[in-house]
Each structure stands twice: as C-alpha cells, then as structure tokens.
Amino acid sequence: MSVKQKRELVRILLSAALLAAGLLLPSPALRLAALAIAYAVSAYDVLWSAVKGIIRGQVFDENFLMAIASLGAILIGEYAEAVAVMVFYQLGEWFQRYAVGRSRASIAELMDITPDTATVRRNDEILIVDPYEVEIGETVIVKPGEKIPLDGTVLAGISSLNTAALTGESMPRDVKPGDAAISGCINLSGELEIRAEKEYADSTVARILEMVETAADKKSRAESFITRFARYYTPFVCIAALLLFLIPSLLIDGEWAQWGYRALNFLVVSCPCALVISVPLSFFGGIGAASRHGILMKGSNYLEAVSDTWAVVMDKTGTLTEGCFRVVKLCPADTSEEELLTVAAALESHSNHPISRSVCSYAGIEEPSNLVTDFHEIAGYGIAAQYNGNAALAGNRRLLQDRQINVPETDGTVVHVALDGRYLGSVCLADNLKPTVKQTLTELRKQGAAHLVMLTGDNADTARTIADELGMDQVHAELLPDGKLAKLEELFAQKPEGKNIIFVGDGINDAPVLTRADVGVAMGAMGSDAAVEAADIVLMDDDPKKLVTAMKISRITMHIARQNIIFALGIKGIVLLLAALGIANMWLAVFADVGVSILAVLNAMRTLRFTENNRTL
C-alpha cells in the first residue's frame, strides 16, 4: 500500500469515526459539529472535482451525482445520510483504486525485467552504462544474479537462465557459447559474455514492456459498451431524478421534502462506479494472468476475441514442428557431396531461417561466407545470390524451376541447390513435431475451435503426413505468403457470424496472415521480429499449448465481466425502483452504490488468480 493510499484510508476512517460520533453523542450541538467536520473531511475533493467538471463542461459524472445527493440531503436536514453518502462513497473509491493498484502492481512485478545498467567491454575497459548506450556487436558481461540487458549471442561462459518473467516457465534454460541469450532473463550461475545482436529499443524486453503499456488502449467490446453506456446513462438518471422530484411535488401532493429525498436516493443508487471500474478491471486482470503464464496480449479486445474462436489456422514449421531441422541425407546430382554441401552452406550462412541454420550447423559454418555476394532471400522460395562470381540458388523446387532448371521429384523437406544454371543436388532435412502439439489440438477442440487448418510453404506430401497424424481438418501446402492470405480469405467467407479466426505462426512470411486474421498469434521467443510486431498475442516460450491457456483465461475473463454487468445492473435497477417508490432509504442506496462496487471489484480480481489447476476459480 502506498503512502498516499494510507493517507486516504486514514481520512476515511477519521470521517467514519466522526460519523459514528455524530450518531451517538448526547448533545445535538456536538452531533451537528461532528457531522459537519466529517462532511468537510470526506467531501472536499469530491465537491471540488464536481466544480471543475462543471467548469470544463463535463458535468455528468459520479462526482456530480455524489455532490448533488449529499448537498441535497443537507438541505432537507438529513445530515447523517449526507455524511454517510460521502464516507461510503470514498471507501468504495479507495477500495477500487487499491484493487486497480494491486492489479497494476501484479503486472509490474511480472514485467520487472528491465535492467538498469549494462556492463560492457570497450577498448579493454569494463564500463557500466545505460542499456540504451550499448551498440550492436559490443560485448556485454552479465554476472550471476544480473538481468541480461540486450538480446545477443553467448560468446563465453556456461550458465542457466531464469526465463520465468518472459515465458512463465519455472525451469531454467541452460546456455553455452553460440546459444541465444534473451534480454530480461536472469543469469543464475556462471558469468557470461554476450555479443549484443540488437539495440535496446529493439530488444525483447523493450518490446514486451511496450506491448504491456499499450494493451489498455485497445478496449474490448464490453469495455467500449460500458464507456458508451455511462456517457448516456448518467445524464439520463440525473434528468429522471429531477423529474421524480418535480412532477409528484407539483402535480400530486406538494410534499417537496419527501420527493426530494426520494430523488436524492435515486441519484446515489444510479452512480455507475461498479460498471465503470469492475469491467475494465476484469480485463486488466485477465491480461495480467496471461502475462504471468508467458502470454502477451496487446489489448483486451484480443483477449475478448479469443473466447469466440471458430477456426485455428496454424503454420507448420516452428509452430507445429520444433523448427530445429537436421540434415539427414545429401543427394548430389552432378557433383560430389562435398561441393553440394559447401555451396549450400555458403548460401544459407547469410540467412537466419531455421533450415538455413541447420544446414550451416551440419557443415560446421558459424560465420557468413565471404564468397557470397548480391544475396537475396525470397520469402516462400529460398535464396538467390552470387557464389564465387557465379549465379547460385538454394531453395525449394519452384525456385529452380522458375529459372528453367530441371529438378527431380522429391519427398520431405528439401533444399535444392544450383550453380551457374547447373543442378548440383539436394540437401534433405527432417523436423519433429513439438511435444505438446497433439494435446494442444485436442484441447483447442474442447475450447470450441471447430476447425483446425494447416497452411504451409512446405511440400504437399510432408504437410499431408503431419496433418493426418494430428487430425487437422484441412491442409494447404506449397503456399507463398499471398497464397496463405488467399486461403485465409476463403475461411473468412465460411465462418459463422460473431465468431473469430486465429492464425498462429512464427516466420517473417507469416506477418501478412497474422495481420489479416481476427487474432494473430506469434511464437515470440523464436519468432521473427516481423511476426511478433504483426501479431496481436505473443506466446513467449514457443509452446502452442499456451494458446489453450489464453483461451481459458479469455473465457473466464468474459464470464466474470458478464457477471459484473448483470449483477450491477440488476441490483441497481431493483434499488432504483425501490428508491422511486420511497421504499429504499439512503442507507440502502449507499449499499446499492458502494456495496455493489466493492463486490464487483472483488469478483473482477479473481482473474488475477488464474492457474491451470484452478482455472474455474
């Protein structure tokens, strides 16, 4: 609890004590004095906020409602009720601010991954600098217990990294020279030397913080509804209260005090705090729960959309499969195995594609080849470049056929290689399914995903074998980025009204499809920057099962938000009617406002407690 919150609580407790004294003291003069002080202590900021709202032209808000209700109660001599309105209203507001603060603190704690400094080696000196000052290629030294400040590659040292803040996983990840080191992870054991591969502004930790900070700007339909509802609801109830006061007083019995009291009760009940606070808090809690499980939501609108999923469309490589290819066979055609591998590895050494890294690893190449010039990576096809002054190609069958080079029929994942128009042969690779994929697809169906589709650029035989093994409803292979987009458009023409299509991918060629889908989900840890930027949700540990977790959190969040809307509107509607009929007094009106708000906020905070073992809360 902050110092400011403690001061506000002391003020509320003091006001409550003075209210009790005003009800219990034997002397009328002392009671009136205690109530006057209590009102001044509890109401001054609300009254001032109401005045400022009127000056700015923003009249109809909860401060205006409470000010009119309490001042009206004073005018008709109901001093204790006037103080009670303010004291309990302030208590409800304090509780709401405390709940929001707890939610923000929970997310801030999860996202407390920003290193304050970075230790770099420059000109044989060890300097401690701001992470923003570290340049690409510099060596960063990370001691045990320190956070990794920038994304990079381990140059020296062996250690374990705590990735919990990023991925939600408790198991540490071992790293050694040559392994990637992600910013925001905590170095647990040995000292590491890391070559910075990105500037701090482009690092994983910076992107995560930006996503979390901007998530609240993208509101769900439920939040937008509440905002619009409050905009029209508040002036409506103010006019209704005025009419409730004037019409019966003028036309029925002339009991101004009686109808004035009813109108004031009506105003107290009508305050929309429970809705305005609890519904956004539900979604904020859902985003926080997702963050704790290594799932970054870029907005509550995406959290809401996931709950109404009709189809899940998935890329193959790096999404359904591990993306860690291994070379299983060299198939030379018009050359030796040595020359085939040499040319293939030299071309692939300039690419970061998983297949490229696998070929280079098999060939033992770590640095880009200086024999390769005029390098071009063609998404969905492969590589075109100059190798030692000769035109060279490395990629799929279509790439070579488009250059009028005859290529034999092959099965599986294959890199075909050509040099100066001559077909050298192919490098055959294999990939494995991710361990959780089958369980993920089963769970997705249980969560309501009626249609499971694979879109891939890989050859049809490989794709069909994997799709059959997984029980996918559709598979479309040998697709370029525009082909994936076209297939997604076909699904949009089929989807039911009010339902959504999710696309899950990790490659740069998936960025257009991620953008077009209702919800784009990127594999964050291994995924390309383009895919992460284009996506609406990022799974930080590349485990597709986290999509199931996201759907569960979404459904629980929507369930709680609907509960709060129905509960708040139901209770307020009943008590508004009772207030208009003169059955409800101001104490019941205060409960209908503050009590409902507190109960709704407590209900909203349940989203923060989501765990896989207690997902029904």
- Residue 478: phi and psi, rounded to 5, are 55, 45
Helix (H) / strand (E) containing 577: helix 545-580
Q: Residues 374-392: pLDDT tens digits? A: 998 887 788 999 998 899 9
**Residue 349's pLDDT is what?**
92
pLDDT > 70 in the chain, percent: 85
Six token digits for residue 581: 């009929």
Between residues 358 and 508, the one the model is more confident about: 358
Long-range contacts made by residues 494-499, C-beta under 8 angstroms, separation at least 24?
Answer: 495/310, 495/311, 496/310, 498/308, 499/308, 499/309, 499/310, 499/311
- 343: pLDDT confidence band, cut at 50, 70 and 90? very high
User: Going by C-beta distance under 8 Å and a sequence separation of 6 or more, which residues neighbour residue 588?
Assistant: 265, 575, 578, 579
Cβ atoms of residues 505 and 513 within 8 Å: yes
**Residue 280's pLDDT is what?**
77
Helices 62-75 and 221-251, interaxial angle, to 10°? 20
Whether 57 has a pLDDT exceeding 90, the answer reads: no
**Residue 224's pLDDT is what?**
65
CATH number at residue 143: 2.70.150.10
In a domain, 102, yes or no: no
- Sequence-ordered alpha helix ranges (H) in 180-253: 204-215, 221-251
Kindly state the average pLDDT of the residues 84-90.
79
Q: Are residues 463 and 425 in the same domain?
A: no
- 200: pLDDT confidence band, cut at 50, 70 and 90? confident
Q: Which amino acid is at 204?
A: T
Q: Residues 132-153: pLDDT tens digits? A: 888 898 999 998 888 888 888 9
**Residue 273's pLDDT is what?**
66
DSSP β-ladder status, 451-455 and 474-476: parallel
CATH number at residue 314: 3.40.50.1000
Sheet holding 326-332, edge to edge: 326-332, 422-430, 413-419, 390-395, 382-387, 372-378
Whether 110 has a pLDDT exceeding 60, the answer reads: no
Last residue of a domain, one of 186, 213, 240: 213
**Residue 616's pLDDT is what?**
46
Cβ atoms of residues 205 and 114 within 8 Å: yes
Nearest to 305 by CA among 213, 217, 219: 219
Q: Are residues 424 and 495 in the same domain?
A: no
Q: Are residues 439 and 549 in the same domain?
A: yes
Task: Classify residue 166 by burial, with Cβ atoms within 10 Å: 0-12, 13-18, 19+.
Answer: buried
**Residue 165's pLDDT is what?**
59
Long-range contacts made by residues 51-57, C-beta under 8 angstroms, separation at least 24?
Answer: none
Considering the chain, what is the average pLDDT of its residues?
Answer: 81
Q: Are residues 462 and 340 in the same domain?
A: no
In a domain, 87, yes or no: no
Sheet holding 118-122, edge to edge: 125-129, 118-122, 139-142, 192-196, 152-156, 180-181
Q: Are residues 470 and 382 in the same domain?
A: no
CATH number at residue 380: 3.40.1110.10
Q: Are residues 419 and 461 in the same domain?
A: no
In a domain, 311, yes or no: yes
In a domain, 273, yes or no: no
* Tally of CA atoms within 13 A in the half-sphere of 88 that contains its CB: 24
In a domain, 44, yes or no: no
Whether 106 has a pLDDT exceeding 60, the answer reads: no
Maximum alpha-carbon separation in the chain: 111
Last residue of a domain, one of 430, 450, 468: 430
Q: Are residues 451 and 378 in the same domain?
A: no
Q: Are residues 400 and 497 in the same domain?
A: no
Range scoring the smallest mean pLDDT among 76-80, 542-546, 560-564: 76-80
**Residue 575's pLDDT is what?**
79
Kindly state the average pLDDT of the residues 257-264.
78
Q: How many domains does the chain have?
A: 3
| Most confident region among 138-152, 173-187, 527-541, 563-577 by mean pLDDT | 138-152
**Residue 243's pLDDT is what?**
85
In a domain, 454, yes or no: yes
Long-range contacts made by residues 102-107, C-beta under 8 angstroms, separation at least 24?
Answer: 102/605, 102/608, 103/281, 103/284, 103/285, 103/288, 103/605, 103/608, 104/284, 106/288, 106/292, 106/608, 107/212, 107/284, 107/287, 107/288, 107/291
Q: Is 217 a catalytic residue?
A: no
Between residues 185 and 528, the one the model is more confident about: 185
- Residue 439: phi and psi, rounded to 5, are -65, -35
Q: Residues 209-228: pLDDT tens digits? A: 665 555 555 556 666 666 66
Whether 185 has a pLDDT exceeding 50, the answer reads: yes
Residues pairing with 548 in the sheet: none
Q: Are residues 519 and 450 in the same domain?
A: yes
Q: Are residues 412 and 460 in the same domain?
A: no
Whether 4 has a pLDDT exceeding 80, the answer reads: no
Cβ atoms of residues 147 and 185 within 8 Å: yes
Last residue of a domain, one of 183, 213, 243: 213
Determine which one of 61, 151, 315, 541 is catalytic: 315
Degrees, nearest 5: CA angle 167-171-174? 95
Q: Are residues 437 and 531 in the same domain?
A: yes
Q: Are residues 449 and 316 in the same domain?
A: yes
In a domain, 475, yes or no: yes
Q: In the structure, how many helices (H) and strands (E) does the chain have?
A: 21, 22
Whether 538 has a pLDDT exceeding 70, the answer reads: yes
In a domain, 371, yes or no: yes
Domain boundaries, position 123? 118-213
Range scoring the smallest mean pLDDT among 39-43, 55-59, 365-369: 55-59
